[in-house]
Amino acid sequence: MTHPADRRTGIRLLKKGRRGLWRAVFSRTGLILILLILNFLLLFTLFGSLRSFLPHYVSISALFSVVMALYMLNSRQDPSAKLTWIIVIMVLPAFGALFYLYTRSDLGHRLLRRRFAEVSEASRDSIAQDPETEARFREAAPDAAGLARYVNRTGRFPVYEHTGVQYFPLGDEMFPVLLQELEKAERFIFLEYFIVDEGRMWGSVLEILARKAAEGVTVRMIYDGTCEFLTLPRDYPQRLARLGIECRPFAPIMPFLSTHYNYRDHRKLLVIDGKVAFTGGVNLADEYINEYKRFGHWKDTAICLRGGAAQSFTLMFLQMWHLGGKTLPEAEFLQLPGEECGGENGFVMPYADCPLDEERVGEWVYMDLLNRARDYVYIMTPYLILDGELETALKFAAERGVDVRLILPGIPDKKLVFALAKTHYAALLKSGVKIYEYRPGFVHAKVFVCDDREAVVGTINLDYRSLYHHFECAAWMWDVSCIPAIKADFLETQSFCREVSADTLQKTSWTVKLAGAVMKVIAPLL
């Protein structure tokens, strides 16, 4: 473990980013509120100095709203998103339409889409599916073969065997193992994280990264551009470069110039030499290892893969690394042989989800598990903002006799989002879904475990951000040795939860119910 001496490098290079007003103004909610205020100012002006034009404004607004509603009803959006936009444009006829056209115009994303298609095509055959592994997988798991075909078709991520998987029920338990594996690096270390913040965790990691870079190990890092407003200074890549670490923030926020703010890099992955990979909900900040308390006890999960499956995470990183560059993914990083773990049973399939294509890989993997489940599906998620399809899949699984259980936070990090989650409770409970809230604090885990044979651990929340707008990653597992540990962790976590029932739901305060009802109107925009 590391302490003050190890933290000095991190403290020297980090300083707190801009919070408070900046964060509010440049958030999605802030932008919506600004448009709402502008719209009301326009109406006030019309009432005051342009009263004679008010009837014309009302007529034009009504006609315009009808035209936009017809347009959106015939678009290819999710039905919940259509309803949200129709309501927004009814409330904000002029500015609502402008906001809709702005978000749908893909300003700043057309080049990114083109670049993503180029990188994906160039790396399409970088990792091939081993035919013998595929044959054994089809024989062992015929009902999951369709899922594997779909994932391989969308992202060229194969199924692996002989990969060891270590499950961590807490970030606290993952952290020392991560440091130990970093110390073993010989060729390269790739890191891609949504949040990086100063403190013991990042300071300890950074000390090792700087030392490994000095030894000749290639060290590259990607963090999401929101960090420049929340935790990191804008010149942080230059600071890391002085330590020999290559760094590229993904899509720094320019909210009024580009729609980049809508697509964030929400992944958390770390790859060492193409042989070891970490993923899960744990970011590089102290709350994720309970070094300090933000919302009570922080319940998070992660996995470490040792073997060939780690190479899929190498490919994910390289694809993201080269989105903003002119070169294509370097083959030398993908040709390193995976380290097989003899005797490890089961199959592992890492996969990525990208908002720049027409696929909703994260959501459809979850729905496939729900639709094929026979006995139970246990789920941990920090947020519950469901579209109609996913809510139906949860309800239908429960109604056909599957034991569907959800663990959500008992102490939320976002009170309005938590109020929105509660709007789904009544319908889910009526169908037989069991809902639990973690009393000691906040649940940030993203875990599905099903029928003692399947599990998913990764970065994908049950909300619109993760399912529609974020870059995400996860690992799907079949019959690997850690699945009983994942189930046991869920049941142990459940023992610290309060169960939600129809009676307890009735006791929800009217302010929470009102907030949830209002937030549901704009749920797809959150």
The alpha carbon of residue 203 and the mean position of all alpha carbons in its chain are separated, in whole angstroms, by 24
**DSSP strand pairing (447-450 vs 376-380):** antiparallel
Q: Is residue 340 in a domain?
A: yes
Band of residue 124 on the pLDDT scale cut at 50, 70, 90:
confident
Q: Is residue 283 in a domain?
A: yes
**Which of 347, 378, 397 is where one domain is finished?**
347
Its domain, for residue 380, covers 361-525
Residue 257 has pLDDT above 60, yes or no: no
Band of residue 298 on the pLDDT scale cut at 50, 70, 90:
very high
Band of residue 103 on the pLDDT scale cut at 50, 70, 90:
low
Rounded distance between C-alpha atoms, residue 434 and residue 406, angstroms: 6
Rounded distance between C-alpha atoms, residue 482 and residue 140, angstroms: 18
pLDDT at 442: 97
Neighbours of 69 (CB within 10 A): 17
Q: Is residue 333 in a domain?
A: yes
Instruction: Tell me the two tokens of residue 432.
Output: 């037989």
Which residue's entry shows tokens 């899960």? 280
Instruction: Tell me the two tokens of residue 497.
Output: 């939860």
Pair 72, 173 in one domain: no
User: Is-contact 385 492, C-beta < 8 A?
Assistant: no
Where residue 216 falls (left for φ over 0; alpha for ψ -120 to 50; beta otherwise) is: left
Q: Is residue 245 in a domain?
A: yes
Pair 428, 481 in one domain: yes
Q: Is residue 16 in a domain?
A: no
CA atoms within 13 A on the CB side of 153: 10
Pair 169, 279 in one domain: yes
Pair 342, 312 in one domain: yes
Pair 123, 265 in one domain: yes
Residue 6 has pLDDT above 90, yes or no: no
pTM of the full structure: 0.85
Band of residue 347 on the pLDDT scale cut at 50, 70, 90:
very high
Which range, 116-120, 122-126, 493-497, is most confident? 493-497
Q: Return the minimum-mean-pLDDT range out of 37-46, 312-321, 353-362, 394-403.
A: 37-46
Pair 99, 121 in one domain: no
Pair 97, 114 in one domain: no
Pair 133, 27 in one domain: no
Q: Is residue 369 in a domain?
A: yes
**Which of 59, 82, 104 is where one domain is finished?**
104
Mean pLDDT of the chain: 84
Rounded distance between C-alpha atoms, residue 284 and residue 203, angstroms: 9
Q: Is residue 17 in a domain?
A: no
Rounded distance between C-alpha atoms, residue 345 and residue 453, angstroms: 12
Task: Kindly write down the DSSP assignment for every residue of 232-250, as one continuous string.
Answer: S-TTHHHHHHTTT-EEEEE
Pair 49, 85 in one domain: yes
Pair 202, 251 in one domain: yes
Q: What are phi and psi of 256, to 5 degrees?
A: -95, 0
Task: Kindly write down the DSSP assignment for every residue of 193-260, as one continuous string.
Answer: ES-B-SSHHHHHHHHHHHHHHHTT-EEEEEEETTHHHHTS-TTHHHHHHTTT-EEEEES---TTT-GG
pLDDT at 509: 87
Band of residue 112 on the pLDDT scale cut at 50, 70, 90:
confident
Q: Is the dihedral of CA 407, 364, 369, 476 positive or negative?
A: negative
Pair 130, 216 in one domain: yes
Q: What is the CATH number of the domain that holds 379?
A: 3.30.870.10
- Residue 499's SS3 state is strand
User: Is-contact 88 519, C-beta < 8 A?
Assistant: no
User: Is-contact 369 467, C-beta < 8 A?
Assistant: no
Rounded distance between C-alpha atoms, residue 308 and residue 275, angstroms: 6
Pair 387, 439 in one domain: yes
* Section 313-341 average pLDDT: 76
Q: Is the dihedral of CA 154, 155, 156, 157 positive or negative?
A: negative
9-39 pLDDT, tens digit each: 444 565 544 444 444 444 455 555 565 566 6
Q: Is residue 455 in a domain?
A: yes
**Which of 56, 86, 104 is where one domain is finished?**
104
157-200 pLDDT, tens digit each: 999 999 999 999 999 999 999 999 999 999 999 999 999 998 99
Number of structural domains the chain divides into? 3
Residue 259 has pLDDT above 50, yes or no: no
